[in-house]
């Protein structure tokens, strides 16, 4: 493959050069997950892949919770389709919890401290 063919293949597969999606949820679902650290960048990234979409339409999908902004991968915010939240978190939770445990230990947040925090919140 030439460099141009590779570039075209990537643009098509990332739903940028051509899209088969009809709404923000389909865009997100087709990609599995989209990085969402920057909220406005997230709206743009979804809208870019959905010709004719408006910011309001993408935000409506978030408000309706058909797409969800959460931390399913490497402690970085991502947008994922709500229908995929449970299986994706089930798949990635052990790694995320393992990393969180190390972070908690570094800051002295043991089980007792976390229990006190829960009591204060509830």
pLDDT above 60 for 122: no
Task: Kindly state the average pLDDT of the residues 47-51.
Answer: 92
Task: Please say whether the beta carbons of 79 and 34 come within 8 A.
Answer: yes
Q: How far is CA 121 from CA 107, 110, 115, 118, in A?
A: 19, 17, 10, 5
% residues pLDDT > 70 (the chain)? 98
pLDDT digits (tens, 9 = 90+) for 11-45: 998 889 988 899 999 999 999 999 999 999 999 99
pLDDT digits (tens, 9 = 90+) for 73-98: 777 899 999 999 999 988 988 887 77
Rounded to whole angstroms, how far apart are CA atoms 68 and 86? 11
| Residue 65 backbone zone (phi > 0: left; psi -120 to 50: alpha; other: beta) | left
Mean pLDDT, rounded, of the chain: 89
Rounded to whole angstroms, how far apart are CA atoms 121 and 65? 24
| Residue 3 backbone zone (phi > 0: left; psi -120 to 50: alpha; other: beta) | alpha
């Amino acid at each position: 493959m030439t460099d141009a063919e590779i570039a075209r293949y990537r643009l098509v597969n990332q739903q940028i050069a051509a899209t088969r999606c009809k709404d923000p949820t389909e865009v997100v679902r087709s990609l599995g997950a989209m990085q969402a650290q920057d909220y406005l960048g997230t709206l743009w990234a979804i809208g870019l892949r959905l010709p004719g979409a408006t910011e309001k339409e993408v935000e409506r999908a978030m408000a309706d919770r058909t797409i969800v902004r959460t931390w399913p991968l490497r402690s970085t915010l991502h947008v994922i389709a709500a229908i995929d939240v449970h299986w994706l978190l089930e798949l990635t939770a052990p790694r995320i919890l393992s990393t969180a445990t190390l972070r908690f230990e570094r800051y002295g947040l043991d089980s007792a401290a976390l229990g006190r925090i829960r009591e204060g919140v509830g």
